[in-house]
């Protein structure tokens, strides 16, 4: 069996002031109401300073850990913060997230404005638009294209790209990160645009990598300086370039605009020439083309909406898939016994003579638990997208909370030794496991749950199964031959990459 080494990503430096927390899948409610008028108190939380509130108390990096610490300090799974007058309430356990974002989703599905993301060029991104007619129209299209049953049709493509990934890693193991990224890029470009990404020198791959870097280093959406003081977006450019988040938007907007436009143009050209391959964008174009004259034009998609929908599908899927893959590699270095157990299971099913396929899924229970544990251990999405409530709500006698999935997925009251990678925690106690619940929330909650969750999970599953069947994942050696173990350090942005 070949050796798959080099388990560290190069450190991508974060850029400071615009980062206010690195929470995994924050699904938050922004509270636009004067708290003093409410008959109900806000949840407990740290006392803030006059005007600026708690903004200086939230760490620039790993604010997720600080949120969990405050939850312990105040003995409450719901805490309150004030950021420059903006009330923010963070959930630190699963129950209130389910109670509110799932069960009361009708009032918890809106979005606040996101000045930084809009300035970057994500104005038409489906994940950011408010809960209205446009959102529901696009959401329905996603649902039809990415349902559990529809996603089965894409498995041949996922399997083909997984085999290509394995072949490329075997040829150039020192480029394993690029190979994982190419796998994620290929499956998402194929799904969204039916565009074939050839190799790491492909212009689409380079463009996608630039876009991914922008998302993973922008800070938490809704918590950057520009988000908290949106008027800064209107200052002269030379002044704006003195403000980190404004300069970040100015510097990287061209990349994001090109990312949305170039694949759209390619699909449009194929559509006009009558040689368009099946894809998500192609389906939207065909539906619009087939519209009857008596049908309401608003039921169909404008070019701007199609560009946004395609870019949203790709950006939501590629970065999370790649990040999950790299976290899995890191976990295998930290838990070699778990790796060997999964490889033994795979060899029993495949006889060691072939790579796994989706037909083996049910027989590879250890591998499936490893995927769930990877998603729980360090979820790929570092700061999710905040929710905004449509009206004031009351829960447990307190006003309108929002959720912090990092704390939920590491809650020691739910998961024993939460910072240990242990897929057997999900086995029933009767089978020698921990009897702990399969994690939920990593794909979101309520009406904002990721519509691509089935496709995303299967992409990660086939990638992990293929890597385990083909390679041993071992740590890098130092000059004296000693193992260099990875550190759990990550970039700060919507998605997170390990970089140590």
| pLDDT tens digits along 272-326 | 888 888 899 998 988 888 776 667 767 778 899 899 999 889 988 888 899 899 9
pLDDT at 58: 80
Residues above pLDDT 90, as percent of the chain: 38
Distance separating alpha carbons of residues 299 and 379, to the nearest angstrom: 35
The residue-averaged pLDDT of 166-171 equals: 96
Q: What's the mean pLDDT in 207-213?
A: 90
- Res. 9: pLDDT tops 50: no
450 marked ligand binding residue: yes
Q: Is 113 exposed, middle or buried (0-12, 13-18, 19+ CB in 10 A)?
A: middle
The pLDDT value recorded for residue 167 is 97
Number of alpha carbons in the 13 Å side-chain half-sphere of residue 276: 23
Mean pLDDT of 476-490: 79
pLDDT at residue number 356: 97
Q: What is the pLDDT of residue 233?
A: 87
The structure's pTM equals 0.82
pLDDT of 489 reads 64
Architecture of domain 6-484: Orthogonal Bundle (1.10)
The pLDDT assigned to 16 comes to 26
How many whole angstroms separate alpha carbon 173 and alpha carbon 438?
33
pLDDT band per the 50, 70, 90 thresholds, residue 34: very low
Q: Per-residue confidence at 24, pLDDT binned at 50, 70, 90?
A: very low
Give the pLDDT band of residue 2 (cuts 50, 70, 90).
very low
pLDDT, residue 390, reads 75
State how far the Cα of 112 lies from the Cα of 230, in Å rounded to an integer: 12
Mean pLDDT score of the chain: 82
At 408 the pLDDT is 61
Neighbours of 118 (CB within 10 A): 18
| Residue 1 reports pLDDT greater than 60 | no
The number of CA neighbours under 13 Å toward the Cβ of 295 is 11
């Amino acid at each position: 069996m070949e050796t798959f080494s080099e388990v560290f990503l190069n450190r991508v430096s974060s850029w400071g002031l615009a980062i206010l927390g690195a929470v995994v899948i924050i699904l938050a409610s922004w509270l636009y109401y004067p708290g003093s008028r409410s008959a109900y108190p806000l949840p407990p939380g740290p006392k803030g300073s006059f005007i600026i509130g708690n903004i200086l108390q939230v760490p620039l990096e790993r604010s997720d850990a600080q949120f969990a610490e405050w939850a312990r300090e105040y003995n409450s799974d719901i805490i309150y913060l004030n950021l420059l007058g903006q009330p923010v309430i963070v959930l630190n356990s699963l129950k209130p997230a389910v109670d509110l974002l799932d069960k009361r989703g009708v009032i918890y599905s809106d979005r606040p404005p996101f000045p930084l993301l809009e300035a970057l060029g994500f104005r038409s991104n489906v994940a950011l638009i408010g809960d209205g007619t446009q959102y529901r129209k696009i959401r329905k299209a996603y649902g039809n294209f990415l349902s559990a049953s529809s996603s089965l049709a894409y498995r041949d493509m996922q399997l083909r790209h997984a085999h290509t990934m394995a072949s490329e890693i075997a040829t150039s193991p020192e480029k394993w990160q690029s190979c994982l990224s190419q796998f994620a890029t290929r499956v998402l470009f194929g799904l969204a645009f039916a565009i074939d990404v050839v190799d790491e020198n492909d212009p689409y791959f380079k463009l996608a990598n630039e876009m991914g870097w922008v998302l993973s280093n922008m800070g938490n959406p809704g918590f950057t300086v520009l988000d908290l003081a949106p008027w800064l977006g209107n200052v002269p450019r030379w002044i704006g370039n003195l403000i980190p988040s404004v300069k970040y938007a100015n510097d990287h907007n061209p990349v994001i605009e090109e990312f949305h436009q170039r694949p759209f143009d390619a699909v449009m050209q194929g559509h006009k020439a009558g040689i368009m391959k099946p894809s998500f964008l192609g389906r939207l174009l065909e539906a619009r083309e087939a519209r009857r004259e008596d049908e309401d034009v608003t039921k169909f998609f404008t070019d701007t909406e199609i560009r946004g929908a395609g870019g949203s599908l790709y950006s939501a899927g590629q970065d999370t898939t790649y990040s999950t893959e790299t976290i899995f590699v890191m976990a295998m270095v930290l838990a070699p016994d778990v790796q060997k157990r999964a490889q033994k299971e795979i060899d029993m099913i495949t006889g060691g003579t072939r790579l796994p396929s989706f037909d083996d899924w049910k027989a590879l229970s250890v591998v499936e638990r490893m995927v769930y544990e990877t998603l729980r251990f360090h979820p790929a999405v570092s700061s999710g997208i905040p929710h905004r409530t449509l009206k004031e709500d009351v829960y447990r006698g307190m006003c309108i909370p929002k959720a912090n999935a990092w704390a939920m997925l590491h809650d020691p009251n739910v998961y024993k030794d939460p910072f240990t990678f242990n897929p057997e925690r999900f086995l029933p106690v009767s089978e020698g496991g921990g009897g702990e619940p399969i994690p939920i929330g990593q794909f979101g909650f309520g009406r904002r749950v990721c519509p691509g969750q089935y496709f995303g999970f299967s992409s990660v599953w086939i990638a992990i199964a293929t890597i385990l069947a083909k390679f041993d994942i071992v740590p890098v050696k130092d000059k004296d031959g000693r193992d260099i173990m990875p550190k759990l350090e990550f970039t700060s942005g919507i998605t997170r990459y390990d970089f140590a």
